[in-house]
Structure 1
Amino acid sequence: MSADSGGEAPLKPWTVLGSRELLDASPFLKVRAETVELPDGRRVESFYQVEQPDYALMCVETEDGRFVMLRTYKHGARRVSLTFPAGALSPGEDPLAAAKRELLEETGYVSDAWTGLGDFVVQGNHRGCACHMFHARNARKVAEPDDGDLEEMRIELRTRKELIEAAARGDYAFLPVIAMLGAVLLPELREGLSMAARAQGA
Structure 2
Amino acid sequence: MADRHWKTLRKDIVFEAAPYLKVARETVELPDGRQVDDFYQVHLRPFVSVVPVTPEGRILILEQYKHGPRCVSITFPGGFVDAGEDPETAGRRELMEETGYRAGAFIPMGTYVDNGNQRGCSGSYFLALDCEKVAEPDPGDLEEMEVSFATPEELDAALGTPRFAITHMAAAWAFARMKLPA
Shorter chain as denominator, the TM-score bin is over 0.9
Aligned equivalent of 1:182? 174
Superposition RMSD in Å: 1.5
- Report SS of the residue matched to 1:62: coil
The separation in 2 between residues aligned to 1:19 and 1:33, in whole angstroms, is 6
Instruction: Tell me whether 1:75 sits opposite 2:85 in the alignment.
Output: no
Larger relative contact order, structure 1 or 2 (CA cutoff 8 Å, min sep 6):
2
- Report SS of the residue matched to 2:149: strand
- Tell me the amino acid that sits aligned with residue 11 of structure 2: S
Aligned equivalent of 2:153? 161
Aligned equivalent of 1:200? none
- After superposition, the C-alpha distances for 1:10-48 in whole angstroms (9 at most, x for unaligned) are 341000000111111001111110000000111111111
**Partners of 2:102 and 2:131 within 8 A in 1:** yes
Shift of 1:78: 1.1
Question: Which structure 1 segments of 5+ residues have no match?
Answer: 1-8, 191-202
The separation in 2 between residues aligned to 1:132 and 1:168, in whole angstroms, is 22
| Poorly superposed stretches of 4+, deviation over 6 Å | none
Shift of 1:61: 0.1
- Report SS of the residue matched to 1:40: coil
Alignment of 1:14-33 (within 5 A): 14-33=6-25
- The TM-score, its normalising length taken from structure 1, stands at 0.85
Instruction: Tell me whether 1:126 sits opposite 2:154 in the alignment.
Output: no
Alignment of 1:1-202 (within 5 A): 9-167=1-159, 169-187=161-179
The separation in 2 between residues aligned to 1:176 and 1:49, in whole angstroms, is 20
- Tell me the amino acid that sits aligned with residue 149 of structure 1: D
The separation in 2 between residues aligned to 1:69 and 1:77, in whole angstroms, is 18
More helix by share: 1
Question: Which structure 2 segments of 5+ residues have no match?
Answer: none
% identical aligned pairs:
43
The separation in 1 between residues aligned to 2:141 and 2:149, in whole angstroms, is 20
Shift of 1:168: 5.1
The separation in 1 between residues aligned to 2:4 and 2:162, in whole angstroms, is 39
- Tell me the amino acid that sits aligned with residue 61 of structure 1: V
The separation in 1 between residues aligned to 2:166 and 2:17, in whole angstroms, is 24
- Report SS of the residue matched to 2:94: helix
The separation in 2 between residues aligned to 1:68 and 1:180, in whole angstroms, is 13
Shift of 1:134: 0.4
How many residues matched?
181
**Partners of 2:109 and 2:176 within 8 A in 1:** no
